[in-house]
Structure 1
Amino acid sequence: MLHSAAYAFAYQQILVVVAGAVCLFGTWVGMRHFARARATDGPTRRGWLFMASVGTGVALWASTFISILALDPWLASGFEPVATGAVLLTAVLACLVGFEIGSRHFTLAPEVGGLVMGVGILAMHFVALKAWHIEGNFEWNAYGMIMTFVLGLSLSALAVNRANRPVTRWCRHGASIVLAFMVCVMHYSLTAATSAVPDASVALPPYLLPANMLVVAVVGAVLLVMGSGFSTYIIDLRSRTESADRIHQLSFNDTMTGLPNRIAFNERLAFDAAEAHEKAHKLAAFSIDLDGFKDINDLYGHGAGDLLLIDVAERMRKQLSPSEFLARQSGDEFLALTTSGNHPHDAHAFAERISQAFAEPFAVQGNPVTLTASIGFSIFPTDTPERDQLLSNAKLAMHRGKSKQCGSICVYSPEMDDIARKRRALARDLDHATKRQELMLYYQLQMTLDDGRICGAEALMRWKHPKLGMISPAEFIPLAEETEAIYEMGEWALRAACRDAAEGKIPGTIAVNLSPVQFGRDDLAEMIHGILLETGLPPARLEVEVTESTIMSDQSRGLHILRKLKAMGISVAMDDFGTGYSSLATLHAFPFDKIKLDQSFVKRLPHDAAAAAIVRTVLALGESLRMPVLAEGIETEPQWDFLARAGCAKGQGYLFAKPVAVAQLPATVTAAAHFARDEVPLANDMRETVAA
C-alpha cells in the first residue's frame, strides 16, 4: 500500500510539472506576441493581441485541465464537452481583455489587466471543476478557496506587470514563468480547497469526454497553437532582422552608387588607424573631387549627372585591390584609404590608378564627356597622429591642388596649414573691412582710341589691411565671394562709385564690376535703382560689367536681371570676353552694350599673329553686332596703334593711366590729356587694309 501511495503521489507531481511546462512554453510564445502588440499600432496591434490571447489562453486552458486531473488521477472521470469549450473561450477572452487593458498607458493598466486575466483564470478553474465528473463527490474548504482567489489574482497581475513594465530583456520570460508558477500554485491551493470522496453509487454520464482522451487532445492543441505561434514569431523575427540589415545597409552604403558612405568610411578609418598603429604601418587617406561636374548637371540635367556618378564609381571600384577602401562622401566627392609600409610612394601610385579611371571619356546622353578628378592625400601618422585630422589634411591638399590645376594629385604638407590658417584669419578681417572703412575705390581711366580722349573710368576695389597693408584683389575678392562678404562690399562699391561720379569727380561713364555672387541677389536691380536715386547719378552714366560665368549659371534669371537694368537706362558690358566657352551664344542671347576684350590677347600684340587674328575677329564680331569693343591692358604705343587701326573703339591700361584713388584722379586726368589727338589717325580705308 505504501508503495502504491508513493507511486500515485509521484504521478500527480508529474502531471503538475506537465501542466506547468505546457503553460510555460505556451505563454512564452504568447508573451512574445504581446510584446509585439505593445510596439505597434492599428490593425497590426490588434492582430498581435489576438495571437497573444489565443496562444496564452490555449496554454492556460490545457494546463488547467491537466492540473485538475492531477488532483486525483486514479478516479474514473470525464468532462462535459460544452463546458470544456466554454472554458477555452473564457481563457481566450480573459487573456484578450487583460492584454488589451494591460497594454494601455494609464498608471495601473498592467495591474488592472492582470487582475482581469486572473479573474478569468479563476473562472476557468471553477467552471472546469464543475465540468469534471467523477465517481464520487467534492468537498470544499473555505480557507483553500480564499487562498486560491488571492494567489490567482496576485500572480496574474504580477505576470502582466512584468510583461508590460520590463526592466531588463528577461522580464518577459519572467512573465511566462510567473504564469506557469501560478498554474502549479493554484493546483496545490485547489488541493487544499477541495477533496474528492469516491462513491461507487455515482455513475458517470455517457456523453462525457474521457479524461485520458482530453489530456491527449489538449496537449495536441497546445502543441499546434504553440507551433503556429512560434512560427509566426520566427517569421516576424526574420522579417525584422532583414529590415534591420536593410536599414544597416542604407545607413552604411550610398544608395545611388552602392559604395560605402561617410559613416562607413569613419568606421573603417578608425579600424585601419588602430591597425596601422599596432603594426607600425602607414595609412593614407584620400579626398577625390570631380572637376567640372557642376557643368555636367547644368548642361545635361541632374538625372544624367547621377548616371555619370554611378559610372565614375564603378570605374574607380575596378581600380581597387582587396586591401583598399573607397567611399562616397556626397555630391561629386569620394574618399579612399590604403594601408602600406611604403607611403607616400604607394599612396601616389594609388592616386595615379584612380586617375587612370578617367583616362577614357564618359558617355553622357550619347555624348563623349572628358572628366578629371583632383586628388589630395595625407599620411598617418607621418602628417598627423590624429586620425580625425587625417581627412581634413587630405581635403586641404585636394583643394590646394585643384586651385592650381584641375586633375592634379597633391600630397599634404604642413605649409598648407599655415596658408589655410592665414586665409581663415583674412576672411575674419574681411567681414569687418567695410564697417572699419578699410576698403577704398581706385579708378582707371578709359579712353577712346581714335582720338585719345577720356570717356570714363572703371572702379576697382582695394583693401588696405591695418596690419598687412594693401591686399591684392586677386586674393581678397575670391575670399569675399566664398564668405558672402561680397554682398556688403559690392553694395558699398556701387554706392561709392555712383556718389563720386555724381559729384563730378569722375569724367564720363563709371563702370562697376558685378560679382557672380552679387548677381544671385533677387533684389539686385532694385538695389542699384535705389543707389542711383540716393546719389542722383543719371542711369546713362552707369555701366555694370559682368562675366560669362556670372550669367551662365542661371540664364533665364540672368536675362531677366539684365533686361531690368537695361530698362532703367544702365549700360551692360561683357567683361573678359574670349575666355569663356560659349561667348558667341552669350552675345546672341543677352542684351550687352559693350564687349571688353580680355587683356590676355592685348598683351601679345602686335607681334603675335594668332593673338592679332583673334583680336581682329572679335572687333569684326563687335562691329557686326553693333557692340563697341573696349580693350583691356594696353601698355605700349604699338598696342594702341594696332587696336586703333583695327577699329577698336575704346581702351584702358597702364599706357594711359594706372588705377588711382579719387583724390589723385584730377592729376591723372591732367596727365592723360596729352594722349588726345585732334585727328583720327587712320581713315576707314586704311583700317580695311590693316584688317586684310
Structure 2
Amino acid sequence: MPETTTFAFAYHQLLVAIAGAVCLFGTWVGMRQFARARATSGTTRIGWLFMASVGTGAALWAATFLSILALDPTLNSGFAPLATGAVLLVAIVACLIGFEIGSRHFTLAPEAGGLMMGAGILAMHFIAFKGWHVAGHLEWNVPGVVVTILLGLSLSALAVNRANRPVTRWCRHGAAIVLAFMICVMHYALTASTSVTTDPSVVLPADLIPAHVLGLAMVCAVLLVMGSGFSTYVIDLEIRTESADRIHQLSFNDTMTGLPNRIAFNERLAFDAAEAHEKAHKLAAFSIDLDGFKDVNDQFGHGAGDLLLIEVADRMRRILRPGEFLARQSGDEFLGLKMSGNHPQDAQAFAERIAGVFAHPFQVGDQSVTLTASIGFSVFPIDTPERDQVLSNAKLAMHRGKSKQRGLICQYHREMDDTARARRALARDLQRAAARGELELHYQLQTTLADGKICGAEALMRWRHPTRGMISPAEFIPLAEETEAIIAMGEWALRTACHDAAGGKIPGTVAVNLSPVQFGRDDLADTIHAILLETGLSPRRLEVEVTESTIMSDQSRGLHILRKLKAMGVSVSMDDFGTGYSSLATLHLFPFDKIKLDQSFVKRLPDDAAAAAIVRTVLALGDSLGMPVLAEGIETEAQWQFLDRAGCAKGQGYLFARPASLAQLPAAIEATARFVREAPPAATHRATAAA
C-alpha cells in the first residue's frame, strides 16, 4: 500500500507577492476605467464597464491561480482546462455585474456591487480548487472557510465603496490596494484552513495543465490584457486632453463679449465633471443674471446695452483664476464653473468676486449706471450626482434669491426642489381651477366720497383650493401669469363679473383687472365684446383696469387696444397710479377715463406731508385732464375727510367695505349704507372747512 503523508500547506512568498502585484496593477487599471464609466453615459459607459470588468477580472483570475500555486509550488498537481476557463468567465461576469450595480446612484449601490464582486471572487476560488488536481486528498477546516468568505465579501465591498465614494483623489488607488490585499489575505486564510494528504497512488488526469506552465502562461496573458487596458486608458486621457484644447479653441466664439457660449460651457461642464470624478474634487456651477439690464436697454437703446455687456464681460474675465470658467448664455445671463476640493467655501468666494465686479458704476455714454447681479450656485456631486442637473439647481437658486432681493448670492439647497415641486403642483391645479368651480369673485364696493353713496364695485379673484383652502392672490396670480393660466382665468372673471352685474346684483359699474398676459393678446377687445353680448351688460357699466407697466411694453399696440375698448363704450382706468416710471407720459398718450391712486400713498395720509403733497398733485393733474381720481385703500375717517377736501371723487377701502362674495354682497351694501348714515359724511367736513 503506498505511503501517505498529511501536512498543512506552506506558502511561497515570491508567488504570493507576484499574485498581489498582478492583482494590484490589474485592478488599478480597472478602477480607473470604472471611474470613467461612472462619468459617462450610454454606449460609452457600457464600453468602459466592459473594459474595466475584463481587466479587473483577468487580474483576479491570474491572482487566484497564482495564490493556489503559492500554497506549495513543488506539489505534483495540475489544473483542468474547463475549470480554468470557467474561473476567467466567472471573474469577468462578477466584475461586470458588480461594477454595473456599483455605478448606480441608489443609497447602498457601491456596497451592493462590492458584495456581488466578493461573491464572484469566492466562486472563482471554489471553482479553481475544484479544478485543481493534486496527487492526494484535500481537507478543509470549516471555520477557516467561513472566515475566508467573510473577508472576501467585506473587503470587496470596501474596495468598490472607495472607488465609488472617493474622499480624496487617492481613494481609487486605495480601492485597487484593498483588492490586492484581499487576494493576499484570502491566500493566508486558505493556507490556515486547508491541508493535503499526499497519495502516490492517485493518478492525475492526462489532460491537466501543468502548474508551472499555467502560471507562466497566465502571467503573460494577464500582462497582455492589462497592457491593452492601460493603453486604452492612456489613449482616452490623451483624447480628453485634446478635447480640453478644442474647448479652449471654441471658447471665444461669442462675437460680442468674447466669452465662451453655451455650447462651449456644456462641453466644459462635461469635461470638468469627468475630472471631478477622476480627482475626487467638487465642481460648482453658477447662474449669473444682471439686475435691471432691461431698463438700460429701454432707456439708452440696445446699442448702449451691448456696450455695457462687453464691459461686464471684460470685468468678469479679469477676475478669473485657474480652475474657473465663465460663459455667456444669452442676453444678460452668464454661466460659471469652478473646480475645487473645498466647496462650498470656494464657490461662495468665487461668487463674491463676481458680485464685486458690479461694485463700481458702469459708464453708458455720459451716464453713470449702477448694476447688480443675482447669483445662484450648486455643487456637483454634493447636491446632485447628475452633471446636467447641477446647472438647473444653480438657476433655481438664482431665481430664488432674485425673488427675495436683487443682488443676492444664493446657494442651492434641496428644500428648493421641494418648493419648486409644490409650485409646479399648484400650477397644475391652477390650470383646472376654473373648470372645477374653485374660483370665486369677491367684490369691493366703491363710493363717492362727497356723500358716501355706492357707485360701483371692483371684482377681485379668489381661489378656494380643495385641500389648502383660500390661497392668497399674491401667490396664485403671479403663478397664473407665468403659466398663462391667467388667460382662461381672466376670461372667466370678465364673464362672471358681467353676468353678476347684468343680473342686478352689483350696483353701478363693475371694475375688472386685466393682467399683462391678457393685454398681450390681439383678440382681447373681441373677447370682451363677445362677453358683453353674451351677458347683456351695457358697455357703460364695465370698467377695465390696467397698470401703466402693462401698456408700456408695447405702446402702439396698447394704444390700439384701448381705443377699440373706448369705441365699444367700455371705461378704462389706470390702476396703481404713481408707482410707475412714466406716469405723466402715459396719461398724455392713452385715453383713460379714470385714475386709481395707489394705496401706498393713501395709507400715509393725512400725517405724512410728502404723501399729502403727492396726492394733491395727482388730484390736480386729474382735474386738469378731466380724469376723475379714485383712491384705493381708505381705512380711516381722517383719510376719507382729507381726500374729499382735496377734491378726490371716489374711493374704496376697508373703511367702507371689505371684499365680499356675491352671496354676502347685499349685507355688505347694507352695512356700508348704515355706516355712511351714522358717520358724518365727508362733505359736511368740507362744507365746515369752507365756511
Give the CA deviation at 1:392.
Answer: 0.9
Q: In structure 2, do the counterparts of structure 1 residues 386 and 591 end up closer, same or farther at CA, with 3 Å as the change threshold?
A: same
Identify the residue that residue 105 of structure 1 maps to in structure 2. Answer: none
Q: CA deviation at 1:420?
A: 0.5
Aligned to 2:274: 274
Match of 2:603 in 1: 603
Deviation at 1:293, TM superposition (A): 2.3
Q: Structure 1 CA distance, aligned partners of 2:674 and 2:459?
A: 22
Cα deviation, 1:299-324, whole Å, max 9, x if unaligned, reads 33333333322222112111212321
Please tell me whether residue 325 in structure 1 is matched to residue 325 in structure 2: yes
Tell me how far 1:283 sits from its aligned partner: 1.9
Determine the structure 2 residue equivalent to 1:288: 288
Structure 1 residues 294 and 597, CA gap change in structure 2 (3 angstroms): same
Instruction: Please tell me whether the aligned partners of residues 259 and 328 of structure 1 are also in contact (alpha carbons under 8 angstroms).
Output: yes
Q: Which residue of 1 aligns with 2:403?
A: 403
- TM-score, scaled to structure 1: 0.61
- Distance across 2 between alignment mates of 1:526 and 1:281: 60
1:503 counterpart letter in structure 2: G
Q: Matches of residues 114-129 of structure 1 in structure 2 within 5 Å?
A: none
Match of 1:587 in 2: 587
Q: Which amino acid aligns with 1:633?
A: G
Aligned to 1:546: 546
The question of whether the paired residues in 2 share the 8 Å contact of 1:252 and 1:263 is answered with: no
State the distance in 1 between where 2:567 and 2:676 align. Answer: 34
Matches within 5 A, 1:547-586: 547-586=547-586
432-441 vs 515-524, greater mean Cα deviation: 432-441
Q: Which runs of 5+ in 2 are unaligned?
A: 1-244
Say which SS state the counterpart of residue 664 (structure 2) adopts: helix
* 1:379-528 matches, cutoff 5 A: 379-528=379-528
1:352 paired to 2:352: yes
Cα 1:624/1:684, change in 2 over 3 Å: farther
Aligned-residue offset at 1:261 = 1.4
Q: What is the alpha-carbon distance in structure 2 between the residues aligned to residue 685 and residue 672 of structure 1?
A: 24
Change (3 A) 1:268 1:373: same
User: Counterpart of 1:36?
Assistant: none
Q: Please show how residues 146-165 of structure 1 align to structure 2 within 5 Å.
A: none
List gaps (5 residues or longer) in structure 1: 1-244
Separation in 2, partners of 1:485, 1:305? 33
- CA deviations on 1:1-54 (whole Å, 9 max, x unpaired) are xxxxxxxxxxxxxxxxxxxxxxxxxxxxxxxxxxxxxxxxxxxxxxxxxxxxxx
The separation in 2 between residues aligned to 1:555 and 1:684, in whole angstroms, is 43
Q: Distance in 1 between matches of 2:406 and 2:376?
A: 12
Residues 351 and 409 of structure 2 are in contact (CA less than 8 Å); yes or no, is this contact kept in structure 1?
yes
Separation in 1, partners of 2:321, 2:248 = 25
Distance 1:594 1:685, change over 3 A: farther
Cα pair distance change 1:528/1:248, threshold 3 Å: farther
Judge conservation of contact 2:308–2:364 (CA < 8 Å) in 1. Answer: yes
CA contact (8 A) 2:633 2:652 kept: yes
Q: Note the alpha carbon deviations across 1:102-121, whole angstroms, 9 max, x for none.
A: xxxxxxxxxxxxxxxxxxxx
CA distance in 2, matches of 1:621, 1:663: 38
- One-letter identity of the residue aligned with 2:571: S
What are the superposed Cα offsets for residues 469-511 of structure 1, whole Å, 9 maximum, x if unpaired? Answer: 1111111111111111111111111111011111100000100
Question: How far, CA to CA, are the matches of 1:465 and 1:646 in structure 2?
Answer: 43
Q: Contact 2:247–2:267 (CA<8 Å) still a contact in 1?
A: no
- Structure 2: how far apart are the matches of 1:672 and 1:293? 47
Q: Give SS of 1:382's match.
A: coil
Preserved contact between residue 297 and residue 304 of structure 1 (Cα < 8 Å): yes
What is the CA distance between 1:365 and its match in structure 2?
4.2
Secondary structure at 1:517's aligned position in 2?
helix
- Secondary structure (helix, strand or coil) at the match of 2:684 reads coil
Tell me the CA shift for residue 672 of structure 1.
Answer: 0.6
Specify whether residues 551 and 250 from structure 1 end up closer, same or farther in structure 2 by C-alpha distance, changes over 3 A only: farther
The amino acid that maps onto 1:361 is P
Task: Name the counterpart of 2:689.
Answer: 686
RMSD: 2.2
Q: Residue 543 of structure 2: SS of its match in structure 1?
A: strand
CA distance in 2, matches of 1:250, 1:595: 55
- Using the alignment, how far apart are the partners of 2:608 and 2:296 within structure 1? 35
1:647 correspondence with 2:650: no
Structure 1 position 685, deviation (Å): 9.0
Distance in 1, matches of 2:646 and 2:593, equals 20
TM-superposed CA distance for 1:521, in Å, is 0.7
Q: What amino acid maps onto 1:571 in structure 2?
A: S
CA distance in 2, matches of 1:468, 1:388: 34
- What CA distance in whole angstroms lies between the structure 2 residues aligned with 1:348 and 1:585? 44
Residue type at the aligned position of 1:501? A
- Which sits farther off after the overlay, 546-555 or 613-622? 613-622
Kindly tell me: are residues 615 and 414 of structure 1, through their superposed partners in 2, closer, same or farther at Cα, counting changes over 3 Å?
A: same
SS in 1 for 2:450: coil
Displacement, 1:519? 0.5
Shift of 1:414: 1.5
Q: Secondary structure at the match of 2:516?
A: coil
Relative to 1, partners in 2 of residues 1:248 and 1:412: Cα closer, same or farther, differing over 3 Å? closer
- Corresponding residue for residue 616 of structure 1: 616
CA pair 631-686 structure 1, distance change in 2 beyond 3 A: same
Cα offset for 1:248?
A: 9.9
Deviations 1:269-289 (A, max 9, x none): 222223233333322111001
Structure 1 residues 684 and 619, CA, compared in 2 at 3 Å: closer, same or farther? farther
Which residue identity lines up with residue 314 of structure 2 in the other structure? E
Q: Counterpart in 2 of 1:660?
A: 660
Determine the structure 1 residue equivalent to 2:308.
Answer: 308
**Larger Rg computed on CA atoms:** 1
1:126-173 CA distance string (max 9 Å, x none): xxxxxxxxxxxxxxxxxxxxxxxxxxxxxxxxxxxxxxxxxxxxxxxx
Aligned partner of 1:534 in structure 2 is 534
8 Å CA contact 2:252–2:258 kept in 1: the answer is: no
The answer to whether 1:262 aligns with 2:278 is no
The CA deviation at 1:546 is 0.4
In 1: Cα distance, 2:450 partner to 2:342 partner: 66
Task: For 1:686 and 1:369, locate their aligned partners in 2 and report how far apart those are by CA, in whole Å.
Answer: 49
CA separation of 1:679/1:302 partners in 2, compared to 1, >3 Å: closer, same or farther?
closer
- Deviation, 1:374, is 0.9
Q: Percent identity?
A: 80
Q: What does the per-residue CA deviation read over 1:46-81, in whole Å, with 9 as the maximum and x for residues that have no partner?
A: xxxxxxxxxxxxxxxxxxxxxxxxxxxxxxxxxxxx
For the Cα contact (< 8 Å) 1:575–1:596, is it kept in 2?
yes
Deviations 1:294-351 (A, max 9, x none): 2333333333333322222112111212321001112221100112233222222221
The 1:249/1:559 distance shift into structure 2, 3 A limit, reads farther
Structure 1 residue 252: Cα displacement:
7.4
Q: Distance in 1 between matches of 2:337 and 2:436?
A: 46
SS of the residue corresponding to residue 329 of structure 1 reads: strand
Q: Which runs of 4+ in 1 moved over 4 A?
A: 245-252
Where do residues 36-115 of structure 1 align in structure 2 (5 Å cutoff)?
A: none
Determine if contact 1:252/1:262 at 8 Å carries over to the other structure.
no
- Contact 1:456/1:507 (CA < 8 Å) preserved in 2? yes
Amino acid at match of 1:654: Y
Q: Summarize deviations over 1:186-236 as a string: whole Å, max 9, x none.
A: xxxxxxxxxxxxxxxxxxxxxxxxxxxxxxxxxxxxxxxxxxxxxxxxxxx
Q: Deviations over 1:448-476 (max 9, x none)?
A: 11111111000011111112211111111
Quick one: distance in 2 between partners of 1:439 and 1:643?
Answer: 34
Are 2:338 and 2:347, in contact at CA under 8 Å, matched by a contact in 1? Answer: yes
Tell me how far apart the structure 1 counterparts of residues 689 and 319 of structure 2 sit (CA, whole Å). 63
- 1:371 offset after TM fit, Å? 2.0
In 1, Cα distance between equivalents of 2:682 and 2:515? 38
Contact 1:298 1:553 in 2 (8 A): no
Counterpart Cα distance in 2 of 1:686 and 1:569: 38
Aligned residues: 444
Secondary structure, counterpart of 1:546 in structure 2: strand
Q: Give the Å deviation of 1:407.
A: 1.6
User: 1:366, CA displacement in angstroms?
Assistant: 3.8
